Each structure stands twice: as structure tokens, then as C-alpha cells.
Structure 1
Amino acid sequence: MFQKILIANRGEIALRVLRACKELGIQTVVVHSTADADAMHVRLADESVCIGPPPSRDSYLNIHQIVAACEITGADAVHPGYGFLSENAKFADILAAHNITFIGPSGDHIRIMGDKIEAKRTAKRLGIPVVPGSDGAVTEEKEARRIAAEIGYPVIIKASAGGGGRGMKVAHTEADLEIALQTARSEAGAAFGDDAVYIEKYLEKPRHIEVQVFGDGFGGGVHFGERDCSLQRRHQKVWEEANSPALNAEERSRIGGICAKAIADLGYSGAGTIEFLYENGEFYFIEMNTRLQVEHPVTEAITGIDLVHEQIRVASGGGLSVKQEDIKFNGHAIECRINAEDPRTFTPSPGTITHFHTPGGLGIRVDSGVYSGYKIPPYYDSLIGKLIVHGRNRVECMMRLRRALDEFVVDGIKTTLPLFRDLVGNADIANGDYDIHWLEKYLARGE
């Protein structure tokens, strides 16, 4: 097991990893920007190192400074959390060159799954169902027209190196295709420095289903069930739940088994999430995230297994603590992402939190690194906390969530709490009847 882990992140995920390290008896080091000097994880860590000014490029994305912090403090491993350098293959390679363990998969696996075209090819080879579309990058309009005609309109054009909805355009007819192709390539080049795009069949009313997988580092793999992340705004997840209200036990077992086998065949090590669009009983691979997900707590709630503990155990060479037959699914869990944003316009709302009170009681968990008097800096993601609720079934979970939202108090800034109080009382949400377009339509109606 590791002696000292450096946590290369900030906010609630840094605190989440720090807590896991303490429970395992591992010393902790956190790095931080000058803007985060008073952050909760900085206060609680055994050691802290300031690595630069507020802009991420000068601090949390500064690989040189992070490696130097490891060497100064004697950290023998780095946990990257999510975001920032968590899916940076170069970072993983550099750490390996310095004999520092990256708590995550190999740089090669990060590279494969970070390129969406290569990821799709790999998924198909591993027996994972994929969305019909191009086999690789599409550069010519003539080729795009041929592929679109073969798979049928509507089609979606996506950036190969994309994420967060950038470089993604839908063409409903042949007349739309030229401008969609040009716009997607332009956005992809500007956002990612790579204008390669590919084409897929556009599904009209799919759900977003993702499967939590783990490779043990020795050619074995398991799955921890699925999560439903269909409530999204601009391709950003807002509300996640496990298990999905759209799947039955047979579908859950089938897709989980496919993903676990694929991870084993790939020789993958650590946590990963294989993401799908799901429509009319069929799953279609869209991407794989080679890291811990923001929404991992709902999986922990229904399995009772600490996924960060598992990450650390696997990275240290200890393999997984459970076999597939040991993983049981109990009850239902929902996570709401609480952002420092206006609940209607979604404009960021940095500032000082004057009062912060979290809900409590059976089945309630709040992951947050903020506190009363904490000043939210304007430089980073607006997520300030996650409310995770668990119940014996979805009905109990929804009722408990309604109660927890009523208890949650954040004063001094605007947050998305009012949005969730509206959603929990909506009939479609109560019935689990929604898809990836539902939330944006709901917001557009101004309900």
C-alpha cells in the first residue's frame, strides 16, 4: 500500500479522496492555487503545497509543478480526481517516468479512449454495441453524404477529441449536412486543437446510461451496475440515479456482463465508465471515461463499496476486494449536482457563502468542500456540492430527496437548489419518464 498520496485536484473531489486516504491510514498531500489557500481539503491534509496562481493552466494543469510537489514531499502516488489532469496520458507517462504511481489506468488506455474514433473501434472489437456511423474521421462532404445516406437521417457530427458538447452538431436532412460539418470542424479545432470529426446515427429520444467498471490490473474485470444520467443541460449532467428506472434486471445483467468482459479483455486497470445511449431496448456505445466520475456516490450507495478505496487498492497492486458475485445492488440512489449558478439562467454566481446547512438523517450524504464564510472563487467549475440520497426503492428515495432539499440551505450566493425542488415534484421525473432532451425542453418552457 502507498505511504503518501498527493491529491492533484480541488473542491469536493479532493476532500472525497482525502477522506478515503485517511480511512486507509495513508498520509496525504494536497496541491492548491493561491485562490484555494483556505479550502477545506487544504486545511485537513497532512501537507499542502501551493503550486501557482488561480488560473488552472498555471496551477492544477501545471504538470511540472505537481511532479515537483511529489518529489518535495516524497509522495509515491497521485490521485487526479476527475477533470484537470485525470485523463491526461502525458501526465500518467511522466509520473511513471519519475517512479510515481498514477492512480488510474495506463497512459496507453487513456490515449485509446480519449480519441473517440479509436475508442469506438476498440469498443466494437471488444464486443460492445456501438452507434451506427463512420469508421473513422470524415474530412470530405461527399463522404459525409454517403455515410449519412447509409445510416439514415438525422445524424450527429462529433469532434473526435471532444467533450462537453463542443464540436457536436445535428443534421436532420441532407441540406443541413454541409453547414453542420463545417461548424463542427471549426468548433472542434478551436476547442481542442484537432478538427477531426466523425458521424453517427442521431437517436431521437435516448436515455444516457453508463456502466461503472473496474479492471483489477491482472486481466480481470467487474461491473458495479449502471447509472442513469439522462437529465442534462447542454450535454452536462445535472441529476443521476442508480439503478436506471428504464432498465429491467435482464438488461442490467446483459450490458454489465458485456462491459466487465470488455474491461478484462482490454487488460484495464482501475476505475472506468462505459457510456451508452439507450433507446428501444438497445445500447449504443458513445465513449469511455478513464477516471472516477462525479456521480460515483450513487453507485457506492447501492453497492456499499467505496470506489476510491478500490482505486487505491488496484493502483497499489492489490487487485479488487470483491468478485462479481460479491457485488449486490440494494435500493435506489439519486444525486443532485449543486452548482453556484442562477437556477434559471445558469449564470455562475461566485461569492461568499454566508450560511451553509446540509440536510441529515438516514440515507443522506452530502459531498462538499464549502462551509459558512467560504468564498467561492470565479476561476473554476461551479460545482459546490453533491446531494446523494438512498432509499429502499425509488419511491422512498424520491420522498427522502424532497425532504433533504427542503433542509438544504446555502445563503449568500445563487445555487441550483430551486431547480431540484421543482424537479422532484414533477410527474415525469416521479415516473422516471424522461430522456436526454427532457430537461432542456422543460427549461425552455419556463416551468
Structure 2
Amino acid sequence: MGTWILNGSMSAGDNERKPVHILVEDGIIKKIADASNGGWPDNTDGHEIVDAKGCLVSAGFIDMHVHLREPGFEHKETIATGTRSAARGGFTTIACMPNTRPVIDTPETIKLILDKAQTEGCGVRVLPYGGITKQELGRELTDFTALKEAGAIGFTDDGVGVQSAQMMKDAMARAKEVGLPIVAHCEDNTLVEGAAVSEGAFARKHGLKGIPNESEAIHVGRDILLSEATGCHYHVCHVSTEQSVRLIRQAKAIGIRVTAEVCPHHLILSDEDIPDSMDANWKMNPPLRTLRDVQAVIEGLEDGTLDMIVTDHAPHSPEEKAKGMQLAPFGIVGFETAFPLLYSKFVETGRWTLEFLLSRMTEKPAEVFGLAQGRLEEGRPADLTLVDLESEKAVDPEEFLSKSRNTPFTGWSLKGWPVLTLVAGRKVWQDAGFEG
């Protein structure tokens, strides 16, 4: 039995939307029918019916940078809670980082992640990264071939930068051989030790040591040169600085195979927004940068220098975040606020079209990582997200499906909330108020 999603609308370029009925069969988008004349299709008998009631129907959102914390940090998040949180945010495919305990650096740990996603996850597709170096210590490369065969989609030591240029060059050469990307957390440790916030207005005001922009950009520049030398696909994690954007733009202009991502918080917040209360829910890595950096990453996304939006969903317990700005761990949760934040900030204000935002959360990540998902087209996987673009409500962390509550956006009134998420045509989450 298939499913008809009736009375929805899909993006039709710029901010235009067209009414559609969508037929899903065997996990595939079988038909997208024009619904502009009203009425239901003739062949709905024997099918499940979802009345989308004018909601936007999009290809399911794809997040290529998330932390599910399992194994080892289940007090922060689990694959079960993380996938439910992702589904509530409209994400149908997520790629989890390997900085767990144990690190995801063996085929056995890859298998553990994939098995748990099948047995305990809500149905959201989970794609694991393998570590670049064993235990993320930067001393010895992992077995890239074995990790790829087990299901890794790329290699990263996210959470720490690979400090040795020789180690990174060797990693890129191996990654090129096996045909997968190096996905780099760019951070020179000699410039960041003991710092919790960016080297900017907030740090100066409170007499804090700051994390300089160069700490990120130095590794970006180094790795671009190594990518050029090896021919490896090099993907830059969570770009946050003007200098990094400039280097990536120059690299792309001369044909180096580099792609990059940016997070909602770096597009929306600067260090000037951090409250004087020193609330550690504003502490993240990379840190919030200057207004000039915010403008640079926005423009980088708009001109294609930065390819996609990711959340860097990074849950921590309330007890950990209560340790204060200096001692609390870096990171904020991101799944359940990402689309409403970006829709409210950029589409509702007229800076971006709806089509642009959707492409950076669906089509572009799928293109970069070679995924079949990401397009609302007949014959594609029926990974779908329904969004009520008119729904407006305040961010309430107590309602999160994530185990953690660490967000700086508490109380923000936002529009554009997902109401239904399907993976391969199967409902993996539905808002209690949506009766479709």
C-alpha cells in the first residue's frame, strides 16, 4: 500500500510555491501531481492519506555534521534520542562525528553505530564518519579501507584538528585512494589553549583570553595546499571566519576540490550577542565571531563558497553547562531549531528565497557527499519533510526530544516549524498538533 500526500505545496523557484499531490510507493516518490485545480487524485483507494493542508513539502533535510554521543556519552545523547530530535527538526539523513568513547575508528564501532541506528533509532538515516587517526590522537592513521567497507562516508577527527601537516597530507593521500573525503575540524591548538570565546568584544569586555580567527584559518590554508597536492576531496567543517571564507573562495576559483559548511549560529549570532551572565549555552567551537565574520559567512554561503548548512548538533548535560563559560564544554544543540531559525532570519526578511534555503539543507549536501536523497523528484527516495510556514512559536528547550537543552535561542519566537517527517515513505515523527 502506498501513501498519497495531498494538498501540499512545493518550492517552485524563488519564493513561489505550487500545489501538489505526492504519491509514495515502496519508499520512492512515485508521482508528483499538479494540484492547482483542486480536488483529489482519482486513484487514492487503498492508499494511506496524509492531508498536508497547504504545508510546504520538501525533500528531507540533510545534516552532515552531528554528534550523537553514543557510545560513551549517553548521558548527553543517544542514537535513539538524537534521531528523534533530528526527525522533529525535519532531518531525514544525519552524519555522526567519531569523537565518542571509544572513538569511531574501527569497523566494529562503525557496525555498532549502524546496528543501533537500525534497532534503536527512529528511522532517520545515520551515516557514520570514521576517525582520521586512531583515538583522534593525531599519531597514527586509521585503516581507511576497512572503515569505508564497514560503512564510513568520510574521515574526520572532528573535535580536534590534525596538528601535523605530514599526518594530514598522508591522510589525504589515503583518502584519495579510497575515494572518500577528508572532513576537517580546523584548529591550531597552539593558539587556543585556555580560551573559551572568540578574540573579540566579549573577551575584551570580560578580560578573557580569546580564540583568534587565525587558529581556524591557518589549518584551512594549510589543508587547501595539501588537497591541491594530493587531489583529495577536502571538506571544511563549521566555517566561522572571514579569513577562512576568503581562502576557500580562492581555492575554488583555481579548481582545488574543496567544499565547506556553515552552522546556523555562525550565520545569526556574533560575540556581541553573548550575555554578560556568562551563560555557557553560548559557548561553542568554533566560537561566535565578530559581526564582520558573520557577514562574511553569510556572503560565502550566498555566493557558493560555502556549500551547505549543518547544525553541529552538540548536546551536553545541564550539569556540564552549569560549570560556567571557562569550564563548561563547547557546543549547543541544533536539530530542532535549525530550519525555523533560518527561515525566520533570512526568508521571512526577504534576504533569501525559500528555494535557496531549502537547497542548502537538501540538494547541496546530497551533491557534495554523493547521496541519492536531497531532491523532491519522481524516482527519488521518499525522504520528505512537511513544514507549516505560518506556524509561529517560541523556542522551549523543555519540549526538545534531545536529551540535552543547551541552546542560546531559548524564548526566540520563530516561524516555519516542521510538522511531519518521513523516511522512505514511513513516518518517523509527527507533531502532536498536526492531524494530517
Structure whose residues are more often strand by fraction: 1
| Greater RCO, 1 or 2 (C-alpha within 8 Å, sep 6+) | 2
TM-score scaled by structure 1? 0.29
Structure whose residues are more often helix by fraction: 1
